[in-house]
Structure 1
């Protein structure tokens, strides 16, 4: 096989699958552990949100470091630190979980940027969207089985299974990561180029000044807030729904993500054009999914699981579509840093889904909280519309 499905890239996708396996388990264990210890939704949301909130701050810097040292050297260092973070979960409580989530956040900033920038640089334009979609697909695949494993570990009340899972994932990720490589020669260290820090700070202005980056970032931030609210509170909300099962919900959502990303990977635009109707449909699907989840408290499990499928489809299509579009329209000399800023908005959104929506759930209900998510999704349908069909960016 050639292009995005050649062996070097398949090995990178396998590494992605292993790396994100830990989170598929932790996303269920941490909320359940927090509730068992009497933590409020606000506290649980802060612990869960610490992961991607930290990732958000480190992504722009990660883009600079990767440009200077190359993706493979950075990747191997990060995998060691990630292994130490996973070990923290095996012998600490909620306080230790918070520290481990932050450490994981730093690792994920560098890991995901290293792989995505390496894939983008190594693939020709026509295969770029497929490469990004495959990366996103493998990042989502652990969520098919991970929640079920996590729920089984929790119900056995035997921490040895959880400890064994974290240690195994840390070891396997390190082994596969150290044998991985990129097809394209790594960038030489960018010596003698002062002012990277000032340049990176200056790049934050592009979030507002660059209309392409601004539109994509607002869409990603809002949608990610919905995704974050689902990830954080579904394990607890499911208990309020008759015959509701959090593991089943997350499995259906992940299956929808994987199936949509694989089946529709060639349909994702890779031409540098802004497809308004395509984006509006994605946001409509997201809003409908959130509304189904909200109504399931009264309507039952059918709406609950339909919401899972719709949310998964929206998640599958949104990120690779926006990322691929930006690789065409962003200026070449700032592309890595600006992509880092865009991905940081996704991190911020997921984090806000826990941090902001936690207090909303405490003051009202989970159902009302997801209703707000649906309203946000509807507002983004209108925001996604643009009469201009083609954005011409300087490359």
Structure 2
């Protein structure tokens, strides 16, 4: 391989690194606020527990709305322009946190800030996808998705620690400074997904890519299952007296994901999605079954590792599948479709699953969600898995 060929085959280019850092900081800011804003609402506005939950979760609804709008606009205007629009809106909506307007303004600020975050994230995911060589797309997306894993792990961890030493408003200022510093690097990103010859269909606004949507239903059922981890793990740990183990659950989960994603991405590029995705369903199902039967800290942490092998790797591989089955000009819309379906599961899952807790208990709920994982695997088999060889041949031919 010549030096020029080697350079064009690189993943960790200057632009990819900037996009990675920016997405990490944006995800970090998202999770810092999600885990701390509820208590802030209770202490400052005497909000009830349910209202505090709304203040936290309305952000996800905003993110979902931002993704729904930006998928089409990324294809029409270009990912880089959407990134800039989202960044400007992020700072404008973030300023609302510092205006004294009561609980109503706080909820509005949360939704709008989530909306801008959805714009930025969709644009950055699109830019990351098109910045890597097509023959290493699976590996590239696996690396890039670590920005989300790190943000979702470091954000809550640092958020709780920093609030011991500073006020919530000071924490918001520090997060704002971090976002601002990384945003200053974005002019160095010159890639874009819209070519000069690309002409979008006039008068047709789309939120969903029809080719990626079938795979999106598999993503939805996996997200539905994982929502139970995010929402009920702490209460389950209190119930079974495993709070200490639960505090390390996401650290084990994140460590397993970070260690395995680069390898699973390479396998995807070389061997296809089937050889990677079917094991992720199995690992996650076993992890949920063990979690539902956890009687010791070891079992709970073992479940965390297995779920990391499962859901942690499923996310990046499923995103790659959604992008690969979509048209070449629909990378942004396919990326948006993937995240919309994932966040529907994550966002609305707790509300639906909450009705199952009284009759099943938390442990029973985790065991029952093995069926949600199996449904996701069956969907994957019918929409992609059984004819992957044909999909790969068609994709290779297009390249």
TM-score normalised by the shorter chain: which range applies?
Answer: 0.7 to 0.9
SS of the residue corresponding to residue 104 of structure 1 reads helix
Check conservation: 1:49, 1:355, Cα contact below 8 A. Answer: no
Q: Residue in 2 aligned with 1:372?
A: 368
Report the CA distance between 1:248 and its aligned residue. Answer: 2.0
Q: Residue in 2 aligned with 1:286?
A: 284
* CA–CA distance in structure 2, aligned partners of residues 334 and 143 of structure 1: 27
* CA–CA distance in structure 2, aligned partners of residues 224 and 218 of structure 1: 10
* CA–CA distance in structure 1, aligned partners of residues 270 and 119 of structure 2: 25
Check conservation: 2:141, 2:265, Cα contact below 8 A. Answer: no
Check conservation: 2:33, 2:56, Cα contact below 8 A. Answer: no
* CA–CA distance in structure 2, aligned partners of residues 171 and 59 of structure 1: 24
SS of the residue corresponding to residue 79 of structure 1 reads helix
TM-score when scaled to structure 2? 0.81
* CA–CA distance in structure 1, aligned partners of residues 229 and 283 of structure 2: 15
Out of 285, 299, 303, the residue aligned to residue 303 of structure 1 is: 299
Check conservation: 1:87, 1:166, Cα contact below 8 A. Answer: no
* CA–CA distance in structure 2, aligned partners of residues 34 and 364 of structure 1: 31
Q: Summarize the alignment of residues 237-386 of structure 1 with structure 2, pairs less than 5 Å apart.
A: 237-245=236-244, 246-269=246-269, 273-275=272-274, 277-296=275-294, 299-361=295-357, 365-385=361-381, 386=385
SS of the residue corresponding to residue 265 of structure 2 reads coil
Out of 114, 125, 141, the residue aligned to residue 132 of structure 1 is: 141
* CA–CA distance in structure 2, aligned partners of residues 35 and 366 of structure 1: 26
Query: Which moves more between the two structures, 90-99 or 137-146?
Result: 90-99
Q: Is 1:75 the counterpart of 2:56 in the alignment?
A: no
Report the CA distance between 1:321 and its aligned residue. Answer: 1.1
Report the CA distance between 1:360 and its aligned residue. Answer: 3.3
Report the CA distance between 1:252 and its aligned residue. Answer: 2.0
Q: Residue in 2 aligned with 1:182?
A: 189
* CA–CA distance in structure 2, aligned partners of residues 102 and 167 of structure 1: 19
Check conservation: 1:287, 1:378, Cα contact below 8 A. Answer: yes
Report the CA distance between 1:55 and its aligned residue. Answer: 2.7
TM-score when scaled to structure 1? 0.81
Q: Is 1:107 the counterpart of 2:146 in the alignment?
A: no
Query: Which moves more between the two structures, 379-388 or 137-146?
Result: 379-388
Check conservation: 1:274, 1:390, Cα contact below 8 A. Answer: no
Flag the 1:98–1:371 CA change in 2: closer, same or farther, 3 A: farther
* CA–CA distance in structure 1, aligned partners of residues 234 and 97 of structure 2: 19
* CA–CA distance in structure 2, aligned partners of residues 66 and 388 of structure 1: 30
Q: Residue in 2 aligned with 1:219?
A: 218
Check conservation: 1:260, 1:313, Cα contact below 8 A. Answer: yes
* CA–CA distance in structure 2, aligned partners of residues 387 and 216 of structure 1: 13
* CA–CA distance in structure 1, aligned partners of residues 350 and 96 of structure 2: 22
Report the CA distance between 1:170 and its aligned residue. Answer: 1.6
Of the two structures, which has the highest relative contact order with CA contacts closer than 8 Å and spacing of 6 or more? 1
Check conservation: 1:120, 1:131, Cα contact below 8 A. Answer: yes
SS of the residue corresponding to residue 152 of structure 1 reads helix
Query: Which moves more between the two structures, 121-130 or 50-59?
Result: 50-59
- Structure 1: 5+ residue runs without aligned partners? none
Q: Is 1:200 the counterpart of 2:196 in the alignment?
A: no
Q: Residue in 2 aligned with 1:169?
A: 175
- Structure 2: 5+ residue runs without aligned partners? 1-5
Q: Residue in 2 aligned with 1:229?
A: 228
Flag the 1:200–1:387 CA change in 2: closer, same or farther, 3 A: closer
SS of the residue corresponding to residue 11 of structure 2 reads helix
* CA–CA distance in structure 2, aligned partners of residues 361 and 31 of structure 1: 22
Flag the 1:359–1:101 CA change in 2: closer, same or farther, 3 A: farther
Measured on the aligned residues, the alpha-carbon RMSD in Å equals: 3.3
Check conservation: 1:219, 1:384, Cα contact below 8 A. Answer: yes
Report the CA distance between 1:178 and its aligned residue. Answer: 2.8
* CA–CA distance in structure 1, aligned partners of residues 262 and 82 of structure 2: 28
Flag the 1:369–1:39 CA change in 2: closer, same or farther, 3 A: farther
Report the CA distance between 1:116 and its aligned residue. Answer: 1.7
* CA–CA distance in structure 1, aligned partners of residues 370 and 53 of structure 2: 19
